[in-house]
Structure 1
Amino acid sequence: MKRVFLFLATNLAIIVVLSITLRLLGVERILDEQGVGLDLNALLIFSAVIGFGGSLISLMISKWTARHMTGAQVIERPRDATEQWLLETVQRQARQAGIPMPQVAIYDSPDINAFATGPSKRSSLVAVSTGLLRGMRREEAEAVLAHEVSHVANGDMVTLALIQGVVNTFVIFLSRVIGHLVDRVVFKVERGHGPAFWITAIIAEIVLGILASAIVMWFSRRREFRADAGGAQLAGRGAMIAALERLRQSVDRPHLPDQMAAFGISGQIGQGLKRLFMSHPPLEERIAALKAAQQ
């Protein structure tokens, strides 16, 4: 579950920091129209620059962040037969998928999980947990690797970054509009902007950013079905179904850091409103989709 949640958290932190920094530098004054109201055209351009900037920065550092959050160790030279098998499997699958060989890493965790991340197909990382290597048969682990390679081949991180950039743009734009209305209607500021504008805008930016993440999570759930289908093509539909069944039956819940939760294959369980913020569909739905495609 890791990839998406970490990306969203990093992105939100970046745009808030950028917004505060630009405010302190006085750059946001260009949004004032003759000191009376907002220049909506300038605001939209400003929002797009900051919104896509935060998203793209998050994308560029995604691989570095993932490695440091999980303590994943990239395999430079295989030290044993398991690491040799990992490298050979990912290399074969990458060749089948038509992408450059990703870096392969292992991180120490008891849960059965894996993730793929990186800013591009040419600079990607596939990492698996020690729990996965101990708790899955080879054909199941191969299917999990195929799922992650499919994420890379499908360009899911880049797609996510573009979607997040659009969402960021509207979040920043609307937060400034809300701040302007509070400043004018509640505090009766007639020219320029008072402290209420900036405080309200930052709070609205955080709240809207969290709510807007539901949109990004919806796209993430759609991409999981596609990655499952890609994994089935690379490793076999039966193996992909067996791997998801193994995840579903696993007693251990994911132990990935919360910020990395959306990166892994196993996803999370949620009901009601919580389901809106799930990065992965329930495993039962993913298994059902693969079985339905068999018929």
Structure 2
Amino acid sequence: MGYLRTAILLAGMTGLFLAVGYLLGGSGGLVIAFVVALAMNAFAYWNSDKMVLGMYGAREASRQSAPELYDVVEELARRGGLPMPKVYLMDNDQPNAFATGRNPENAAVAATTGLLRILNREEIAGVMAHELAHVKNHDTLTMTITATLAGAIGMLANFALFFGNNRNNPLGIIGTILVMILAPMAAMLVQMAISRSREYEADRIGAEICGQPLWLASALGKLQHASERVLNERAERNPATAHLFIVNPLHGRNMDNLFSTHPDMKNRIRRLEEMSRPGGGGKGPIDYSRPRQQPASRSGRSSVPNTGRKPGSGSSGRDPWG
């Protein structure tokens, strides 16, 4: 989505945060909420990546600890013209992934162990290309600030019963009740508007980075099916971060999941399939016929996860990574 629309949506969420502060504490509450909003945005700018990664128990991976995943990300970053991000693994059976960081120079991509188990090498490349597209679009900063503000609004709404006795509140107790119910819902609506647009765009650019839209389309189908069956306890405890993931990690056990932060999966897959067709709007697959540039420190082992598949058995019908 355009930077102007993103700025407007974030300003709207900040305004909502200030309005909740006013309803709870009048003009004094408004000032306090404004200061808190500024502090939270500044803190999120510098620390959001560490917060989210720590929240999900992610551990940094290296070429030695996860050579296949690391090399796939390295190759895709080179193709996308991006600095090499930090790579993280999350010990979680639900197959999923996300990107975070305030800019491409300080970005990180994270994948669950469940994702590496169920996807083949082409599908992993499609997912990681999607996450690198978020980095390239500077979506990662927007996503983390949105999650911070949404969580703060939900926190203020929960405090409304204890601190919502502002005499200047024209609606009195009714206003307090409305704040408790409507503020978190409004925050989720803003998250929806931001998240759905950025997911479609990341699908498109990610398909261009990896060169084959069907890799990502195949991965999305598998991830959607598996994520619905496998519970992600950490995500359920932190629903405000659900929009960070490539597929919705929530199972609808609370009100925060009444509004999905992800586009309909059938629509995402359909758009990718259209990109794979001649004249489908995509830039076409990358030319893999040229020899791959090998890193200086590279050993002789495979650059992608060993899935037991023969070269050329991927969705493209050939082995572009060889």
Deviation at 1:28, TM superposition (A): 5.7
- For normalisation by structure 1, the TM-score amounts to 0.67
SS at match of 1:278: coil
Partner of 1:122, secondary structure, is: helix
Q: Deviations over 1:35-54 (max 9, x none)?
A: xxxxxxxx6x8765543442
Instruction: Pick the aligned partner of 2:243 from 262, 267, 272.
Output: 262
| Rounded Cα–Cα distance in structure 1 between residues aligned with 2:149 and 2:56 | 29
Residue 277 (structure 1) aligned with residue 252 (structure 2):
no
Q: TM-score, structure 2 length as denominator?
A: 0.62
Determine which of 229, 233, 243 is the counterpart of 1:252. Answer: 229
Q: Distance in 2 between matches of 1:70 and 1:154?
A: 23
Secondary structure of the corresponding residue to residue 63 of structure 1:
helix
1:159 is the counterpart of 2:135: no
In 1, Cα distance between equivalents of 2:266 and 2:216:
13
Residue 204 of structure 1 is matched in structure 2 by: 179
CA distance in 2, matches of 1:181, 1:202: 13
Question: CA distance change for structure 1 residues 207 and 182 in 2, over 3 Å: closer, same or farther?
Answer: farther
Larger RCO of the pair (alpha carbons < 8 Å, separation 6+): 1
**RMSD value, Cα:** 4.4
Which string of whole-angstrom CA distances, capped at 9 and with x for unpartnered residues, describes residues 57-89 of structure 1?
23432211222221111014523xxx1121121
SS at match of 2:107: strand
Partner of 2:295: none
* Kept in 1: contact 2:100–2:141 (CA 8 A): no
Q: Out of 90, 94, 105, which is 2:73 matched to?
A: 90
The amino acid across from 1:261 in the alignment is A
Bigger drift between 123-132 and 90-99 goes to 90-99
Contact kept? 1:267, 1:278, Cα under 8 Å: yes
Match of 1:120 among 62, 81, 103: 103
Q: Deviation at 1:134?
A: 0.9
Report deviation, 1:213: 2.6
The question of whether the paired residues in 2 share the 8 Å contact of 1:218 and 1:276 is answered with no
Match of 2:191 among 206, 209, 216: 216
Deviation at 1:276, TM superposition (A): 6.7
Contact 2:95–2:118 under 8 Å retained in 1: yes
- Residue of 188, 193, 200 corresponding to 1:225: 200
- Write out aligned runs for 1:1-295 (5 A): 29=28, 50-79=36-65, 83-160=66-143, 183=168, 185=170, 204=179, 207-235=182-210, 236-250=212-226, 252-255=229-232, 256-258=234-236, 259=238, 260-267=241-248, 277-293=259-275, 294=277, 295=280
Question: Contact between 1:105 and 1:128, CA under 8 Å: does it hold in 2?
Answer: yes
Query: Which structure 2 segments of 5+ residues have no match?
Result: 1-9, 157-163, 281-322
Instruction: Give the drift of 1:200.
Output: 6.4
How many residues are matched? 247
- Tell me the SS of whatever aligns to 2:230: coil
1:52–1:164 Cα contact (<8 Å) kept: no
Q: Give the CA deviation at 1:290.
A: 1.5
Counterpart CA distance in 2 for 1:90 and 1:98 is 12
Higher helix fraction (1 or 2): 1
Deviation per CA, 1:82-129: give whole Å up to 9, x if none.
x11211211121222222211101111111111111122211111111
Map Cα deviations across residues 256-280 of structure 1 (whole Å, 9 max, x no partner). Answer: 5221432221226899x98872121
* Contiguous gaps of at least 5 residues in structure 1: 1-7, 32-42, 173-178, 188-195
Q: Is the 8 A contact 2:57 2:91 kept in 1?
A: yes
Mark the CA change 1:292 to 1:239 in structure 2 (over 3 Å): closer, same or farther. same
